[in-house]
Structures are given as C-alpha cells and as structure tokens.
Amino acid sequence: MRFRSLVGMGILSSWAVVTVAHAAPRFTLGNVPSYYQGTFGTGSHINIFYDATYFQFRNRDLRLKLMVPYISVSGLPQGARLTGGGIVHRPGTTQTQNSASGLGDIWLSAHYTVYQRTGLLPAVVPYAKVKLGTASATNGLGTGRNDYEIGVGLDETIGTRIFPFAHLGYRFVGNPAGGNLHNIWTYDMGSSFVATPRNILTAMFSGSESEQPGYAGPADIVFAWNYNVTRAGSGIQLYADKGLSNGSANYGVGLGAQIVF
C-alpha cells in the first residue's frame, strides 16, 4: 500500500468540502493517524503507524499543502527501507528485523485548475509534488533522497451528488547509493457520493509501479466516509484500505479530523 496516498494526494482533505464553493480562500489544518499491516513483498509481517499532520491553503483554482508525518514501524527486515509510500530494498525472508520511530518524509504539493468543469467536460488540474528526504535512512524510515512528481487530475460532477475523479502522475525517484530504484507512474480513480449534506462516501482504486525492479507495485481499493460538522468542511474522516497486490499492505485503517477556516 502507498501508505500515505490518501492524505498525500489530498483526497481526504477535499472529500469534506466537495459541495462548498471556494471563491474565498480557505485554510485547513488536519491530522489523520493510520495503521497498515502486511508483508509488502517481504517475508516479514510489517506494522506501520503513519500519523500525518497537514496544513492546506485553497481557493477557487489553487491548492497548496504541507504534510508532516510521524512514522512508527515494526517487523521491518534488516536492510529494507520505507519510501514514498512503499518499501524498497526488500531482502526477502530474514531473521533480523528492525523497529523504529521518528519523523517521516515531508511532502509539499501544489494543484492548479487550468480548466473549470463545463457541461460534460471535467475540470483539468495539473499538480506537482516534492517529497523531502527527511526520514531517517539509517533506521529504515526513508531513503534519505528527495522525490519529485508531476501529474494531472480530472474532476467531474454528475448532478449534485456524484463527484468522479482520476489522477495520473510520474514520479522521479531519488536514488540512494546502490539503490537501483526506478522512476514510476502513479494513478488513482474513484468517486465521491454526497449521501446527505453532512455525509460523504468515497470509493477509490489506487496504485503505482514498483520502484524496485522484480517486485509487484502497490494496488489498493479504499472506502471512506466523511462527516461534516460545519458547512465549511470541518469534520471527521474514516477510511479502510484493502491491498490487492503483493506490494501492498494486507489492510489499512485510518481515522482523522480537520478544521477548515
């Protein structure tokens, strides 16, 4: 599982406000603790606690986000490292396993709507992301290298309740010494459904190529529920993730909250 995909892509922070106009600037402060368990293509059962705190600015066309995560991992095979949402340097079955906690990789992202939705044509939203290699490579919490991603999103509206979306990106992967990591394509598609003004349901398929040759890339299906406490979009978020490939977590769950002002 790309265990930071939901918050990193901005899915969670936008679900709660899909029915709110953004002519005026808005700021969002949120926190989403998540837990993932699986082998991620190794011979070990790995547990990851990923606690992402983010700050976002958004107006009608522009969305800027800073995300700072805290990571705690156990069962990580000796020599393996977390990367931009997955695991690399997977040595297979090993008796030596690590546990570590600390600052994760900080993410910066920018989305800009270059074409507003009209009729049957979706909104076109190019984006750029930077992953700063702030997580400890020594402890296996990161690669110690920056990643850069560019891509485009398509956002549609069907009636007043259904909001389909899709994103396609290309990530330039920072390669540590001896890493032999590859640049990858990332993608997701899904739809949000406004059940009531306060309740928003979302289903999404998300995946990417594998950064490490010879291993399956992550592929996941995600179901989520947002509950809006305020009209601006402040509220809570709950989601469940099911991995569909050997490169994903077996499952993941997350529960968070955000304040929009």
Q: Where are the domains of the chain?
A: 5-260
Q: Torsions phi, psi of 5, nearest 5?
A: -60, -40
CATH number of 5-260: 2.40.128.130
Helix (H) or strand (E) holding 188: strand 184-194
Q: Distance between alpha carbon 251 and the CA centroid of its chain, in Å?
A: 15
Alpha helices in the chain (DSSP H): 5-9, 11-15
Asked if residue 65 lies in contact with residue 41, where contact means CB atoms within 8 angstroms, the answer is no
Distance CA(134)–CA(82), nearest Å, equals 12
Q: What is the pLDDT of residue 170?
A: 98
Q: What is the pLDDT of residue 20?
A: 46
Residue 253, beta-bridge partner list: 35, 240
Q: Write out the chain's pLDDT in tens, 261 residues.
A: 455 555 655 555 554 455 444 556 899 999 999 999 999 888 889 999 999 999 999 998 999 999 999 999 999 988 889 987 788 876 655 567 889 999 999 999 999 999 998 888 999 999 999 999 999 999 999 999 999 999 999 999 999 899 999 999 999 999 988 778 999 999 999 999 999 989 999 999 999 999 988 889 999 999 999 999 998 889 999 999 999 999 999 999 999 999 999
Which residue, among 249, 254, 206, has the nearest Cα to 75 in the 3D structure? 249
- Rg (the chain; Cα; Å): 18
Distance CA(9)–CA(186), nearest Å, equals 11
Q: What is the pLDDT of residue 215?
A: 87
Asked if residue 164 lies in contact with residue 156, where contact means CB atoms within 8 angstroms, the answer is yes
Dihedral angle computed from the Cα positions of residues 177, 216, 103 and 64, in that order, rounded to the nearest 10 degrees: 100
Kind of pairing, strands 235-243 and 251-260?
Answer: antiparallel
pTM for the predicted model, two decimal places? 0.91
Residue 109, beta-bridge partner list: 65, 129
Kind of pairing, strands 81-82 and 97-103?
Answer: unpaired
Q: What is the pLDDT of residue 21?
A: 45
Which residue, among 56, 4, 107, has the nearest Cα to 258 in the 3D structure? 56
